[in-house]
Every structure is written in C-alpha cells, then in structure tokens.
Amino acid sequence: MSQQGYVAAPPYSQAQPGMGGYQAGYGPPGATQPHYGHYGGPTQPFNAPPTASMMKSPPAGMPPTPVSSQYSQNVQQNGGHRYPAPPAASAAYGQPPQSSYNSMSPQSPPTTQQITNQMGAMSIGNYAPGPQAPVNSVAQQHHQRPAPAMGQPQMHPGPQSPPMSPQMSSTQFPPANMPMTAPPMAGSPLSPPPMAGSPMGAPPMGAPPMAGSPMGANPMGAPPMAGPPMGGMGGPFPGSPPPGVGGFQQAGPGPQGFPQQPGQFGGPMAGPQPGMPGGFPSGPSQLAGPPQKKLDPDSIPSPTQVIEDDQVRRGGQIYATNLRGQVPPLVTTQFTVQDQGNASPRFMRCTTYSLPCTADLAKQCQVPLASIIKPLARLPKNETPLYVVNHGETGPIRCNRCKAYICPFMHFTEGGRRFQCAFCNCVNEVPVFYFQHLDHMGRRVDFYERPELSLGSYEFEATLDYCKNNKPPNPPAFIFMIDVSYNNVKSGLVKMICNELKTLLEKLPKEEGSESSVIKVGFVTYNKVLHFYNVKSALAQPQMMVVSDIAEMFVPLLDGFLVNYQDSKAVIYNLLDQIPDMFANSNESETVFAPVIQAGLEALKAAECSGKLFIFQSAMPTAEAPGKLKNRDDKKLIGTDKEKTLFQPQKSVYEQLAKDCVANGCSVDLFLFPSQYVDLTTMASVPSHTGGSVYKYNNFQVETDGEHFLRDLRKDVQKPIGFDAVMRVRTSTGFRATDFFGAIHMNNTTDVEMAAVDCDKAITVEFKHDDSLGEDTGALIQCALLYTTLSGHRRLRIHNLSLNCSSQLSDLYKSCETDSLINFFAKSAYRAILNQPIKNVREILVNQTAHMLACYRKNCASPSAASQLILPDTMKVFPVYMNSLMKSSPLVGSTELPTDDRAHQRLSLLAMGVEETQLLLYPRLIPLHNMDPSSDVLPAPVRCSEERLSDSGLFLLENGHSMFLWLGQGSSPDLIQGLFNLPSLAHLQPDIAALPELDNPLSKKIRSIVSDLLEKRFNSMKLHIVRQKDKPEILFRQFLVEDKSVHGGASYMDFLCFVHREIRQLLT
C-alpha cells in the first residue's frame, strides 16, 4: 500500500493485466523519469500507449470525430446523453468564443516535430522557469475570457479575428520578452492552425454556430480573445515554426481555423452543457495554452465565475436524487436535497458520476475515481433528518454473502419472497417478518413506507451484535485535559478555559429531541504530573488525585471522575473556580503529552465508554516521560529527499497510542498554544488517526486570540459527533474501494475505524476496477457507518449512491466534479509527501493534471490545433485549484514556512470534506467597499488576485481557516471612520483583534458579514486586519492564489501555460 502514496494513483494503478511493469514502475522513480516514476509502470506504457491510443482513439473513442467536425459530435453527444435539455442549448453555445483559441492551436497533433520544436521554444522562452512571468502572462491571455457578458462581439471568426490579433499583440506583447517575436508569427501561423482543424470542412460548420449562437449566448467567447488572440497566441508558439508552417496543415486557411474551433468547443461543450441551461460558456473552459504576451487574466477560467454561474443555474432549487449518475450542483451552491434513493451530495460526492466501464479506460484517462464521504454531515433545517429503522432483534436485513444492508437497490423477486443483492447478486430469502407483496411494477407495496427501500440515506438501530463485547454502549464522555504549566497559566489561558467551560458544558451536544445531554464530563490538569479530579455530586468539594507515575499511566479513580454535568454542577463549578488559583504560582514549565492521552484513554476504558479528549497543550512535551519529544526542526532538510521526515511522526509511542485509542473509541482533539516549534507532526499523530482535530494558536494571547480560540472550542464541543465508529464501503461487482484518506485508522484493508467522527470529518475513498462494469447496471456504492450516538445508542448509518458507467470517456469527463477531484488530489498528495520527496509529488500532480486533460483532448475533444488548450467544461477551473494546491504550504519547500504550520495544514486537510478543501484552495475575496450596507446580499467574491484589489478598496478574504480584512491605502477616511472610529488609517493599531462595535450601517453590516461567516465555517477564524503595504500584508498575499506566491509558486497563468505545454508533449 505504501507505494500508493503517489498521487497519480487512479488511472495508472488500476489493475492492468498487462502491466507487468507495475511494480517496476514504482521502483524506479529514478531521476530520469521523475514524473513517470510515480506512476510506475504506467509511465512507460505511457509513452507507448498514448501513441497507441492516439491512433486508436480516433476510431475507438471518438468514432465520430474523424468525419466531420465536432459539431456533429455535439449533436451526437447530446443525443446520447440522457439529458434532454441540452441539445438546443448546446447549439446555442456554439463554441463560438473559443473558436478563437482553437484557431491558435492548429491541429498540431500530427505534426510532431514541429510542435515539439515549438514547445521547445516556448519552454525556453516562457514557461520553464517561474521567473519569466512576463512571458507567461503573454501566453495566457488566450485562455478564456470571463463570463458570459463578453460574449457577443468578438467571436466573429473571420473578420474580427484579424483585428484582434493585432491589438493583442500590440498592447499586450511586451515585445522584448519573447524570442518568438510573437506578433508576426501570430498572425500568420494562427490562421493556419485553424485550418488544420477545419480541414474537415469544419469551416462552414464552425462558422454558423459560432457566429450566431456563440456570441449571444456565450459570454465566454471572451470577445477579444476569440479570434484575434488566437492569432496572437498561435504566433508565439509556432513562433519558430512558422516558417515551417508549411508543415502545419494549418497553414492554409485562416478562416477555417476558426470554424473548427467552435466546433471543438461545441463538441466538448455540448456534453456538459446539457446540464447547464444557463448557457454557460462552456466554451471558455478550453483554453489556448500558448503563452502570449500580457494576457488578460479575465480570459482564463474564473472560479468565482463558475461558482456564481452554478449558483445562478442551480441555486435555490431542489435537487432530487432519483437519477443514477446525476451530477450534483457545486458545493458552493445553495440548494435543497430531496432524497429519492441516492445519498445526498452532502454525504457523498464523487470525482465523477460516470465510471469508465473498464480498467483500461480508467487508466487511460487517469481521472481518479473516488468518493468523498462525510457520513455525519449536517443537514440544513429544511431537509429531512435521517429516519431510524428498527428491524428488531435480528438486526438489519443484510445480504448473506456480501453483508450489504438492505437498500433501494435490492431487487425483490418471487413475489417478494426473495431479494437479489445489487452488490454481489446473491439471492437471499426475505425474513418472514419482513415479507411484503410486490406491486405490478415489481416493487414492494410498502416501498414508500420503508426508508430503507426508498431513500439513499437512513439509519438502523443496531443490535447487541454490533456492540463492543455485546453490551450496549454507555453514554460517551468528554474529558477536558488542561495543561497547567507556567506558560498556560501565565497567558491566562487556564483561567479562560475554566471560565468558558462553566457555560460551555451547559450546551453539550445532545441527540435531537432529547431533554439534556447524557454526555459525561471529566477533568484533568497536568504539567509534569497529572491531576485527576473527583467531582462526584455527593462531594462537598472536589478531590484532586495526582498521578506522578507517568511512565505507566493509569486512572486513579473510577467513580466520580466522569460525571453528569448537571448532577455535579456545584462541585464542578467549585473545581473550575479553583484550578486557576491552584496553579497560579506554578513554575513548572515542562509538560508531558503521551501520558495525558494515555490517561484519558485509560479513563474511558475503565468507564467502558467511548469519548473524546480535549487537550489544551502549551508546548512540546519535554519532561522525562514516554513520548518525550526533541526539537528536530531542521530547515536544512527542506528541499531535500529527507524533507519528508519532517512529516513523519517521531515516536512509535504515539503510533501505538493511536491504535489503542481507536480500539477503545477514544478521540483526541488537540488545542495547541505554542510559542515555538512543537513538532506538530508527532503531537498530532494521535488526533489525526482518531478522528480528532488539531487547533493551533501561535503565540497565544488572551486579548487577541481569546475569542478566536473560544469560538473554536465552542464549535468543537457542540459539534454533532459519533463515537467508536467503523465504516465499511461496499460496492457492486466490478470495482472496489482500495484506499482511504482521512482522520482514520485502518487495521485491515476494508474497515475504516474512527474513534470518533464528527459532522465535519470526511473520508475520501478511492475506487479501482476489479473487472469491467456494465453500462446497464451502473455502479453502486454503499457506505455503512456503525457508530455510537451522543446518547449512547449504537446505530448504523447507511448511505447509498448509484453511478453511471460508460465506455465513453466523454461521459466520464462530463460527469466530473472538480471540487471532489481536487479534494482527492490534495489528500493523496499530502499523504504522498510522507513517502517521497516533495518535488516528485509536485511533478506527479502536474503530470496527472496534464494527462487527464490530454486524454480529454485526445479522446473527447474534436481535433484541433495542438497549441490550443482545451479543457473539459467540468474541469475548467481544475488548473487553478491544482495550482493552488501546489502552492499550499505542505507542498512548497520554503524555509520561511514554519514546519509546524505545514504539518498542521497537511493533517487537517486529510480530514476535510469537499466544501472545505474548495474554500481552502480558493479563498473568497469579497470586496466590501462598494456594497450597499442596506442590502442583504453579500457582495460577489472576486478572483484571488492582486489585480482585483484596489487602493481605495476594502476586502474581506477568508478560506475557512484565516480571515483578513484588507484596507487599501487609499481607503476613504469615511470608511475608516465608519469602521474603526479613527480619523485615518495611520491611527490603526496593528493588532486589533476585532472590529469595534460602532453604530453605523457600514460597521454593522461588515460585522454581520464577518460573524455570519464565522458562524458558517467549520472553524473559527481569527480576523487579521491588514493595511496595504504593511508588513503583515505578505501573509495576506499568500492567499491570493492566482498570483505568484511569495514562497515560490507559479501564478495561475503560468501554471496553465505550463500544463498546456505538458499536454502538448503528451499529445505528440
């Protein structure tokens, strides 16, 4: 398994009979083929197959293509899909906008040499090194234009294009930069490319669509870009080639080129569009890769736009889960789910909703097949909570063979006496008590009365067989373990926690509908030794029990340690009042850590319940005890092959501890208050395997971080949560779950064990083929989570999801979900860095990105110029996320980033759901300066780029973990006055923690926006107030993910170009 760390997994690693090379592949991730190395076997095949596939592809994959332009394809595709709507729309879209791009990249495919040449040139000039930004920028422009708005004008193929190009070139091209001398080239070469595409007689086709529909409908067609830019773009590449142009088929008719493009778009677009009535400019998704001079950033796919469009298109609607393989709205979209037989996307999301039928196909496209499962996700108030089904003493009805739980996919036969398991096809008897007649449709008469037959998600009441030791579980417990060493006492933290607990404990989570929480609470304080407290309600005063035998931790008391808060309130109050005073004079600065967890674990063991530890730790545990840690933060390792060791836990003590914790249902949440390196990797290893979370507050100060911390604590304590959970993912025949990511522990290859799982924890599951899948039957996934509820009931939560299967790659690409994909990539990359140098991981990421896109290009897109970047509509913002992921701190080898922070992000991401990763990788940047304070609408976020900032602006940026309020230098004094009650920006104190409460509309509005966000996000965020050009701004800039990163990451534009180059390389 370990080998799988690499990112590329899915496609390659799929079982490929032919791949003897499998292992070999892994082995030699040697220098020469770094990229491929990971893929291992695949790599080699890579070259070969590609070619092969290339050859074939036309015939096989895309039979239609050859003949006529994409256009026709479109139609076909549309037709093929079930989606009824699209056709018309698609037409409408007409690929117009893109046409421009296409034009640029003629149908290079065939002409290998030349292209390569071009590439070579390019790479030299533009891509290669990050620094050459300018160049890159040039390249980029071609990509898309922004949204719909632009639509109309440009497209016009013939005429416009020419003019455009000149403009472009003139304006944008920094003449100097490119060796290519783009402009001229552009012009000429461009035209040719189109040709290429067109040869098929595309021209005509293209034209019409383009012209008509495109413009109007598609905003995309980023006007300017369209025609002209292409030209420009093309230029550069071919730059050198031009001469050779001849070689290019394109050479010929400029005009033709255009038409084609449209066609292409159309093709690809079409597919996707069906879903999108909005007439999203699917087109834009395809970008022209070629570098251009200063390109318009607006021309490349915009995540904010995509989000907005989806919100417009599907927001506020009801999403009924009655169809197989239906692609849900984006995570960012507000919608209501109606469970009609498949699990809500809130519980399960897949990277694609249409699986390739065979392992070969999967391997070919390299799109990972994965599902992100958030089994206990919170449901909005307007959605029905899960029903609880009780099948009595025999327990839930299951398939005898594969043990799948009864679900809507089960097929009843023989008048209802038997049912055939949809997962393993085994025929089972229906138990007598469960018998029911079938109606004329072959459905059980009680279909609608039984949630387990009609819904995608429901719960079973578990019988004793599902309980540990066959005893019903006891109510879970929360144990608060407070580090009372010098630092925490001095900073006032201890006092703060104690005060907060008094109120917080009143709000312990409870089961829906129950009167009060049955969760028990216990308290421990510690420094070098541990202090347990007996807070039995019968006592007049609490009793403290010191355990100094930290080498072999044990729990000194049983009765009175874990108590019901309501019963023991008086004693607990007494205790919480005393704790800060008791240690007020403590000088002890050393702490222990492993024994603390051990203690909590033992306590839960002794009480025979599961539960959660809340540990508030100040520093690295340096006291002589098991789990003592040393500072091993070595900046010299960064960038070397040994960098991975920084992410590997230090001591096996913790590994064992994590195992024990999981076995006993003990989850650990760690709150860290470090003032320096704490070896978070190691300290967080227990939480990250037990379904816990790690919170970190550097240089904690009560005044500035207090509220922030308390918000986290409150959220954390009040979260709905399940304990002692085991999750099992079952699939129908033909594929199976092979890998799991999350804050989990796995003893074997199938059972996902979690000491606890809360509403925010997601598990990403990767699937691979065993066999081929049938298009008719589709693919079914059933996720069963056995857990203990807050009230101590044992439950089974079942989520079912059905997916399509298709032998057409285009179907797959159409059903992809970028947000899920990136979640998967992020998790697998973050795991991979444990085993291989970060550099390799990054390469793998790029390669796979390129490969996925190249495969699309080759198999699904209509032929077009190689210089053209074509992205599947569903993945058009994939590169920006991918780029952001590559720039995320764990994957950036910068010595300026604290190792702990990197480790922290790495570990927290592993447990994140789709929504969270999306937000993390593409923060929301909200302009606040122009909004109308009286309106209820949140201003639309803008793209995360410096260019979007304005000197006089006021922006709020948040990514779910950090929040910044950015103040432009030129902010109007009114604004400042209104917000801070200060005469000018200069008066602002650098470290204010919150906005002052002022009674004016602006202040109120902004504060309400902030608090709404804080409310909405999973974690609390500390509000940083940043002035333009102030030092802290650097921090802020890290989050402008479309820009070049301070720590050395490419800008979006550069990355896109780079990927394009890679794609082209693959295609040749």
Partner 1 sequence: MASFAEYIAQNEERDGVRFSWNVWPSSRLEATRMVVPIAALFTPLKERPDLPPIQYEPVLCSRATCRAVLNPLCQVDYRAKLWACNFCYQRNQFPPSYAGISEVNQPAELLPQFSTIEYVVQRGPPMPLLFLYVVDTCIEDDDLQALKESLQMSLSLLPPAALVGLITFGRMVQVHELGCEGISKSYVFRGTKDLNAKQLQEMLGLTKPAATQGRAPQTQQPLCNRFLQPVQKVDMNLTDLLGELQRDPWPVTQGKRPLRSLGVALSIAVGLLECTFPNTGARIMTFIGGPATQGPGMVVGDELKTPIRSWHDIEKDGAKFLKKATKHYESLASRAAANGHIIDIYACALDQTGLLEMKCCPNHTGSMGTLLVYSFHTPYKTTLTRLYLKLSVFFVNIFGLNSFSPQTSREVKVSGAIGPCVSLNAKGPCVSENEIGTGGTSQWKVCGFDPSTTLALYFEVVNQHNAPIPQGGRGAIQFVTQYQHSSGQRRIRVTTTARNWADAQSQIQSIAASFDQEAAAILMARLAVYRAETEEGPDVLRWLDRQLIRLVRHSTIYCPYCPLAAHLCSACFSLCSYWLFTFMFHLRRSPFLQVFNNSPDESSFYRHHFNRQDLTQALIMVQPVLYAYSFNGPPEPVLLDSSSILPDRILLMDTFFQILIYHGETVAQWRKAKYHEMPEYENFKHLLQAPVDDAQELLHTRFPMPRYIDTEHGGSQARFLLSKVNPSQTHNNMYTWGQESGAPILTDDVSLQVFMDHLKKLAVSSAA
Closest to partner 1 by CB, 104 vs 524, is 524
Please provide the DSSP assignment of 13-80 as one string.
HS--TT-THHHHHHS---SSSHHHHHH-TTHHHHHHHHHHHHHHTTTTT-THHHHS-HHHHHHHHHHH
Does position 564 interact with partner 1 (CB under 8 A)? The reply is no
CA neighbor of 330 nearest in space, from 914, 997, 920: 914
The DSSP 8-state label assigned to residue 107 in this structure reads S
Q: Least distance (Å) from partner 1 to the CB of residue 977?
A: 49
Residue 482: what are its φ and ψ, rounded to 5°?
Answer: -105, 125
Does position 541 interact with partner 1 (CB under 8 A)? The reply is yes
Does position 308 interact with partner 1 (CB under 8 A)? The reply is no
Taken in order 304, 308, 313, 317, the sign of the CA dihedral is: positive
Q: How far apart are CA 1045 and CA 1039, in angstroms?
A: 9
Does position 580 interact with partner 1 (CB under 8 A)? The reply is no
Does position 543 interact with partner 1 (CB under 8 A)? The reply is yes
Closest to partner 1 by CB, 354 vs 485, is 485
Closest to partner 1 by CB, 449 vs 559, is 559
Does position 470 interact with partner 1 (CB under 8 A)? The reply is no
The stretch near partner 1 (CB under 8 A) out of 508-516, 579-587, 666-674, 924-932 is 579-587
Closest to partner 1 by CB, 425 vs 537, is 537
- Exposed e or buried b for every residue in 215-252, given b needs 16+ CB within 10 A? bbbbbbbbbbbbbbbbbbbbbbbbbbbbebbebbbbbb
**Residue from 336, 425, 537, 574 binding partner 1 (CB under 8 A):** 574
Does position 490 interact with partner 1 (CB under 8 A)? The reply is no
Q: Least distance (Å) from partner 1 to the CB of residue 627?
A: 18
Does position 529 interact with partner 1 (CB under 8 A)? The reply is yes
**Residue from 557, 988, 994, 1035 binding partner 1 (CB under 8 A):** 557
The stretch near partner 1 (CB under 8 A) out of 230-238, 363-371, 397-405, 538-546 is 538-546
**Residue from 320, 402, 539, 992 binding partner 1 (CB under 8 A):** 539
Q: How far apart are CA 645 and CA 632, in angstroms?
A: 10
Does position 544 interact with partner 1 (CB under 8 A)? The reply is yes
Closest to partner 1 by CB, 116 vs 578, is 578
Closest to partner 1 by CB, 15 vs 544, is 544
**Residue from 549, 896, 932, 1015 binding partner 1 (CB under 8 A):** 549
Closest to partner 1 by CB, 578 vs 835, is 578
Binding mask 218-257 for partner 1 (x = CB under 8 A): ----------------------------------------
Residue located via tokens 């293209």: 206
Residue type at position 899 = T
For residue 322 the two structure tokens come to: 């009655």
Closest to partner 1 by CB, 412 vs 486, is 486
Q: Least distance (Å) from partner 1 to the CB of residue 661?
A: 20
Q: Are 951 and 957 in contact (CB under 8 A)?
A: no
Residue type at position 30 = G
Residue type at position 620 = M
Q: Least distance (Å) from partner 1 to the CB of residue 501?
A: 16
Q: Are 1025 and 1064 in contact (CB under 8 A)?
A: no
The stretch near partner 1 (CB under 8 A) out of 127-135, 190-198, 541-549, 968-976 is 541-549
Closest to partner 1 by CB, 588 vs 751, is 588
Q: How far apart are CA 1059 and CA 695, in angstroms?
A: 35
Closest to partner 1 by CB, 226 vs 477, is 477
**Residue from 393, 512, 515, 552 binding partner 1 (CB under 8 A):** 552
Please tell me the total number of residues recorded for the chain in this structure.
1068
Does position 560 interact with partner 1 (CB under 8 A)? The reply is yes
Does position 439 interact with partner 1 (CB under 8 A)? The reply is no
Characterize the bridge pairing of strands 457-461 and 477-483. Answer: unpaired
Does position 558 interact with partner 1 (CB under 8 A)? The reply is yes
Q: How far apart are CA 260 and CA 65, in angstroms?
A: 12
The stretch near partner 1 (CB under 8 A) out of 1-9, 13-21, 357-365, 526-534 is 526-534
The stretch near partner 1 (CB under 8 A) out of 226-234, 408-416, 583-591, 775-783 is 583-591
**Residue from 357, 373, 498, 547 binding partner 1 (CB under 8 A):** 547
Size of the site for partner 1 (CB under 8 A): 29
The stretch near partner 1 (CB under 8 A) out of 12-20, 462-470, 586-594, 875-883 is 586-594
Q: How far apart are CA 803 and CA 773, in angstroms?
A: 11
Does position 588 interact with partner 1 (CB under 8 A)? The reply is yes
899-910 and 818-832 helices cross at what angle (nearest 10)?
A: 130
Q: Least distance (Å) from partner 1 to the CB of residue 569?
A: 16
Closest to partner 1 by CB, 312 vs 544, is 544
The stretch near partner 1 (CB under 8 A) out of 115-123, 501-509, 539-547, 832-840 is 539-547
For residue 278 the two structure tokens come to: 């909005």
Characterize the bridge pairing of strands 779-788 and 794-806. Answer: antiparallel
Q: Least distance (Å) from partner 1 to the CB of residue 548?
A: 3
The stretch near partner 1 (CB under 8 A) out of 528-536, 785-793, 919-927, 1024-1032 is 528-536
Q: Least distance (Å) from partner 1 to the CB of residue 658?
A: 23
Residue type at position 720 = P
Q: How far apart are CA 71 and CA 213, in angstroms?
A: 13
In DSSP terms, 756 is beta-bridged to 723
Closest to partner 1 by CB, 139 vs 625, is 625
The stretch near partner 1 (CB under 8 A) out of 274-282, 373-381, 551-559, 637-645 is 551-559
106 CB burial (10 A radius; 0-12, 13-18, 19+): buried
Does position 586 interact with partner 1 (CB under 8 A)? The reply is yes
Cα dihedral angle (989, 995, 1000, 1005), rounded to 10 degrees? Answer: 140
CA neighbor of 820 nearest in space, from 197, 348, 253, 183: 348
Q: Least distance (Å) from partner 1 to the CB of residue 652?
A: 22
Q: Least distance (Å) from partner 1 to the CB of residue 567?
A: 16
Q: Least distance (Å) from partner 1 to the CB of residue 578?
A: 5
Q: How far apart are CA 963 and CA 971, in angstroms?
A: 19
Q: In the Cβ-directed half-sphere of 230, how many Cα atoms lie within 13 Å?
A: 50
Q: Least distance (Å) from partner 1 to the CB of residue 547?
A: 5
The stretch near partner 1 (CB under 8 A) out of 4-12, 33-41, 141-149, 547-555 is 547-555
**Residue from 469, 585, 748, 935 binding partner 1 (CB under 8 A):** 585
Gyration radius from the chain CA atoms: 30
**Residue from 29, 187, 228, 542 binding partner 1 (CB under 8 A):** 542
Q: Please enumerate, as own/partner, the contacts of 39-47 that have beta carbons within 8 Å and a separation of 24 or more.
A: 39/6, 39/8, 39/12, 39/13, 39/844, 39/847, 40/3, 40/6, 40/12, 40/13, 41/12, 41/16, 42/8, 42/11, 42/12, 42/13, 42/363, 45/16, 45/18, 45/19, 45/21, 46/851
Distances (CA, A) of 324 to 62, 316, 455, 780, 796: 24, 22, 13, 9, 24
Does position 545 interact with partner 1 (CB under 8 A)? The reply is yes
Q: What does the binding site for partner 1 look like in residue numbers (CB under 8 A)?
A: 529, 531-532, 539-549, 552, 554, 556-560, 574-575, 578, 582, 585-588
